[in-house]
């Protein structure tokens, strides 16, 4: 397997709006980030992924870009951004930028032109179609609810928007548009950035003819997923992008790819394919979704988590590369979703971190995860800011008359704002995030969960992450070892091994609050064992052949 710096690295995601405010306007900003770089260095991460900081009307918090080459006023200036890059590099860390090119904002000058007339030179930069029998051109539903088409009076046609109506999809069939986007990417890379996280990048090739999606239930709009995810020209577009842009730099690229299968991921990330280095897959994020989708919440099962993670580990082994995450700005907090954020907050946060960081792939930490930040329960819908959540609430409560309590409960479990409350820096007002009024309220648990406290306590979640990251630097088996699931049928323990040459790692994670017995499979022989990390005080000499685990206990042994 090829050795690469981005395989050996740990990435930390910053959602700038909620990270740190330096000027008291209640919104996180670039100078705020700079003020916390020493903290990130102390944690030990290698790469920062910065969610979008480009000019944007903020319909979707920056994922709707109106100018790809300037900085959003609320976040600062281009000089601030240059200073950030300089300060990141000075500390020997890297910076990757979010690349949002499936769609732009409707306020981007291209779209402003495009909607003016059918023969405007920019018309074909977007996807316009006449209506069908007085209705939308097809039955596709937007990822944020409602039709994926918006009627535009000026020319009497509809444009496609897979997200909000202020996020029109760009037309990748147009070679001129593609060249403009490649120019823009090179412009950022020439400034010295270290790569891109590519937003819904497997949506850029749509099925020709944009056919209706099957609709057995006769609904008004239906998810058109397979007609725009992993579409017919996707590999061609990515290979062209690689040739025109990525191949000229030593960078890392990660493609966000809802609906991607491991078989496709091998094509996207294969070393000989020249597309991207890794993808964000979503299968483990869907384990608690029922047939009605994300908001139809059902309990997840350990059995399914084992099956999904093991499938991804084995399918990409020696062929591609995994990215490892349990939360981000679109997902609930991992400790609330897969752990216990009340009785065993610290134990389960550490266990989940162990589970993830010991898998094969590049681990991603989402801001606040490293101190055990949790989901939030705001009393009313008025407190929520996320367009996806607000659209869903409107549709379910106002249009379909669904019970408010039930809808709020699904927001508490799955809403994106769970991850977007400000980072809890200390126990002062607004958790030290801002001296003004934060754009979204702080999680009320900030007095117990905050960075200041975590730094002072040597047993904190923070110090545990720090150790996990250091271990990755010391043991190449953590990066390059192959993965094998053991105790497949155990209903409480997720255990696996990693193997590199004569060495093995044994990773044992109790995913629940009981006291299950771990029994070492008899084929796992060793002469010496070394306890690398555990989330309880543990006697390193304890026999591991048969042991009772504590709630959410995690241990990693090196066996030789
Ligand atoms: C995925 C991003 O992570 C999410 O925040 C955004 O809403 C959509 N793509 C649309 O850009």
- What the chain holds in terms of domains, given with CATH numbers, is 11-103+175-465 (3.20.20.80), 109-160 (3.90.400.10), 482-559 (2.60.40.1180)
CA atoms within 13 A on the CB side of 270: 10
Query: Rounded to the nearest 5°, which phi and psi values hold at 149?
Result: -120, 140
pLDDT tens digits for range 453-465? 999 999 999 999 9
15 Cα to the center of ligand 1, angstroms: 12
Three-state SS for 344?
coil
For residue range 488-531, list pLDDT tens digits in order. Answer: 999 999 999 999 999 999 999 999 999 999 999 999 999 999 99
100 CB near ligand 1 (under 6 Å):
yes
Residue 15: CB within 6 Å of ligand 1? Answer: no
Atom of ligand 1 nearest to the CA of 60: 7
Q: How far is the CA of 329 from the centre of ligand 1 (A)?
A: 9
Distance 558 CA to ligand 1 centre (A): 39
64 CA: nearest ligand 1 atom: 11
Give per-residue burial for 446-459: e unless 16+ CB within 10 Å, then b.
beebbbebbbeeee
Looking at the predicted structure, is the pLDDT value of residue 1 above 80?
no
C-alpha 199 – ligand 1 centre gap (Å): 6
Closest C-alpha among 418, 480, 462 to residue 294? 418
Q: In a mutational test of the pocket of ligand 1, which residue from 16, 50, 199 has the highest number of ligand atoms less than 8 Å from its CB?
A: 199
Q: In whole angstroms, give the CA distance from residue 30 to residue 497.
A: 41
Question: What DSSP string runs through 493-542?
Answer: EEEEEEEETTEEEEEEEE-SSS-PEEE--TT---S-EEEEEESS---TT-
DSSP bridge partners of 140: 222
Q: How far is the CA of 99 from the centre of ligand 1 (A)?
A: 11
R_g over Cα of the chain? 24
Residue labelled with tokens 């705020």:
32
Q: What is the mean pLDDT of residues 18-37?
A: 98
> Which pLDDT score, from 0 to 100, does residue 362 have?
98
Binding site membership of 63 for ligand 1 (Cβ less than 6 Å): yes
Q: State residue 423's pLDDT score.
A: 99
- pLDDT tens per residue across span 106-164: 999 999 999 999 999 999 999 999 999 999 999 999 999 999 999 999 999 999 999 99
Q: What is the whole-number distance in angstroms between the Cα of residue 422 and the centre of ligand 1?
A: 19
- Alpha-carbon distance 259 to 320, whole Å? 17
60 in ligand 1 pocket by Cβ < 6 Å? Answer: yes
Q: Does residue 136 line the site of ligand 1, with CB under 6 A? A: no
Residue partners of 389: CB distance under 8 A and separation at least 6: 411, 415, 416, 417
The residue whose CB lies within 8 Å of the most ligand 1 atoms, and thus the one to mutate among 52, 60, 68, 106, is 60
Å from CA of 63 to ligand 1 middle = 6
CA distance 300 to 272: 36
3-state secondary structure of 475: coil
- SS3 (DSSP) at 199: coil
pTM here is 0.98
Residue closest via CA to ligand 1's atom 6 equals 63
Q: 3-state class of 308 per DSSP?
A: helix
- List residues with catalytic annotation: 199, 256
CB count in 10 Å sphere of residue 381? 15
Q: Mean pLDDT throughout 87-97? A: 98
C-alpha–C-alpha distance, residues 162 and 103, integer Å: 8
- CA–CA distances in Å: residue 504 to residues 360, 361, 488: 13, 17, 18
Ligand 1 atom index nearest CA of 388:
7
Point out the ligand 1 atom lying closest to the alpha carbon of residue 103: 11
Average pLDDT over residues 253-278: 97
Q: What is the mean pLDDT of residues 206-224?
A: 96
**How much distance in Å is there from the Cα of 71 to the middle of ligand 1?**
18
Distance from C-alpha of 55 to C-alpha of 546, rounded to nearest angstrom:
58
Planar angle of CA 221, 226, 229, nearest 5 degrees: 110
Torsion over CA: 413, 416, 419, 422 (sign)? negative
Per-residue tokens: 300: 């997840």
Minimum CA distance residue for ligand 1 atom 2: 199
Would the CB of 308 count as within 6 Å of ligand 1? no
Place of tokens 């052949």: 545
The region, left, alpha or beta by phi > 0 then psi within -120 to 50, assigned to residue 92 is left
Q: Which of 100, 259, 390 to mutate to test the pocket of ligand 1 (most atoms within 8 A of CB)?
A: 100
Q: Is the CB of 200 under 6 A from ligand 1?
A: yes
Q: Whose CA is nearest to atom 11 of ligand 1?
A: 63
Please determine, for residue 2, whether its predicted confidence score (pLDDT) is greater than 90.
Answer: no
DSSP SS3 for 71: strand
Q: Would you say the CB of residue 163 lies under 6 angstroms from ligand 1?
A: yes
The atom number, within ligand 1, closest to the CA of 100 reads 11
Average pLDDT, the chain: 98
Length of the chain in terms of residues written = 560
Pairing relation of β-strands 94-99 and 47-50? parallel
Mean of pLDDT values over 32-45 = 98
Integer CA distances (angstroms), 408 to 333, 334, 338, in order: 17, 19, 20
Q: Tell me what percent of the chain is helix, strand and coil, each rounded to the nearest 5.
A: 35, 20, 45
Q: Is the CB of 194 under 6 A from ligand 1?
A: no
- For residues 534 and 556, is the Cβ–Cβ distance under 8 A? yes
Tokens representing 330?
A: 């679109």
Q: How far is the CA of 505 from the centre of ligand 1 (A)?
A: 36
Locate 263 and state its tokens: 């078989």
Determine the Cα–Cα distance for residues 427 and 392; give it in Å rounded to an integer.
33
Give the atom of ligand 1 at the shortest distance from the alpha carbon of 162. 10
Instruction: State mean pLDDT over 285-310.
Output: 97
Of ligand 1's listed atoms, the one at least distance from the Cα of 144 is 7
142 CA to centre of ligand 1 in angstroms: 12
Q: What is the mean pLDDT of residues 162-186?
A: 98
Residue located nearest, by CA, to atom 5 of ligand 1: 330
pLDDT at 140: 98
| CB contact at 8 A, 395 and 46 | no
Could you identify the atom of ligand 1 that is nearest to the CA of residue 416? Answer: 5
Q: What is the DSSP letter of 369?
A: G
% residues pLDDT > 70 (the chain): 100
């Amino acid at each position: 397997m090829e050795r690469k710096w981005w395989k050996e690295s740990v990435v930390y995601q910053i959602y700038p709006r909620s990270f740190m405010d330096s000027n008291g306007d209640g919104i996180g900003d670039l100078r705020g980030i700079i003020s916390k770089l020493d903290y990130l260095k102390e944690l030990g991460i290698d790469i920062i992924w910065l969610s979008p900081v480009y000019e944007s009307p903020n319909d979707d918090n920056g994922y709707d870009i109106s100018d790809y080459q300037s900085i959003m006023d609320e976040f600062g200036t281009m000089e601030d951004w240059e200073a950030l890059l300089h300060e990141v590099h000075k500390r020997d860390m890297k910076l990757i930028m979010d690349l949002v090119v499936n769609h732009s904002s409707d306020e981007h000058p291209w779209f402003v032109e495009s909607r003016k007339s059918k023969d405007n030179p920019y018309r074909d930069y977007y996807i316009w179609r006449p209506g069908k029998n007085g209705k939308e051109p097809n039955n596709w539903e937007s990822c944020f609810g409602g039709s994926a088409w918006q009627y535009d009076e000026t020319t009497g046609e509809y444009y496609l928007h897979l997200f909000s109506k202020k996020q029109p999809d760009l037309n990748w069939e147009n070679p001129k548009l593609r060249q403009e986007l490649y120019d823009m990417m090179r412009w950022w890379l020439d400034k010295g950035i270290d790569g891109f996280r590519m937003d819904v990048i497997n949506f850029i090739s749509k099925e020709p003819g944009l056919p209706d999606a099957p609709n057995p239930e006769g609904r008004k709009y239906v998810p058109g997923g397979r007609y725009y995810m992993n579409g017919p020209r996707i590999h061609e577009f990515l290979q062209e992008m690689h040739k025109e842009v990525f191949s000229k730099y030593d960078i890392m690229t990660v493609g966000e790819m809802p609906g991607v299968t491991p078989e496709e991921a091998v094509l996207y990330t294969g070393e000989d394919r020249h597309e991207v280095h890794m993808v964000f897959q979503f299968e483990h994020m869907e384990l608690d979704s029922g047939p009605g989708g994300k908001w139809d919440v059902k309990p997840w099962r350990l059995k399914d988590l084992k099956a999904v993670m093991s499938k991804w580990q084995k399918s990409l082994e020696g062929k591609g590369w995994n990215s490892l995450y349990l939360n981000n700005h679109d997902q609930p907090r991992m400790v609330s979703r897969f752990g216990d954020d009340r009785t065993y907050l610290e134990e389960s946060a550490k266990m989940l971190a162990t589970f993830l960081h010991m898998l094969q792939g590049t681990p991603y930490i989402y801001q606040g995860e490293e101190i055990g930040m949790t989901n939030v329960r705001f009393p009313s819908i008025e407190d929520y800011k996320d367009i996806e959540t607000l659209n869903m609430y409107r549709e379910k409560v106002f249009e379909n008359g669904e019970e408010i309590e039930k809808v709020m409960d699904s927001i508490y479990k799955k809403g994106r704002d769970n991850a977007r409350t400000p980072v809890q820096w200390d126990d002062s007002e607004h958790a030290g995030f801002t001296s003004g009024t934060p754009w979204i309220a702080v999680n009320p648990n900030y007095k117990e969960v905050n960075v200041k406290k975590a730094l002072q306590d040597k047993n904190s979640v923070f110090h545990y992450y720090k150790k996990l990251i250091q271990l990755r630097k010391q043991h190449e088996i953590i990066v390059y070892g192959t993965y094998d699931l053991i105790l497949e049928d155990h209903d409480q323990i997720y255990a696996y091994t990693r193997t590199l040459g004569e060495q093995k790692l044994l990773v044992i994670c109790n995913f629940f609050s009981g006291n299950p017995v771990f029994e070492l499979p008899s084929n796992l022989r060793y002469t010496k064992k070394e306890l690398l990390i555990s989330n309880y005080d543990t006697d390193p000499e304890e026999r591991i052949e048969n042991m009772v685990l504590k709630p959410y206990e995690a241990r990693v042994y090196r066996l030789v």
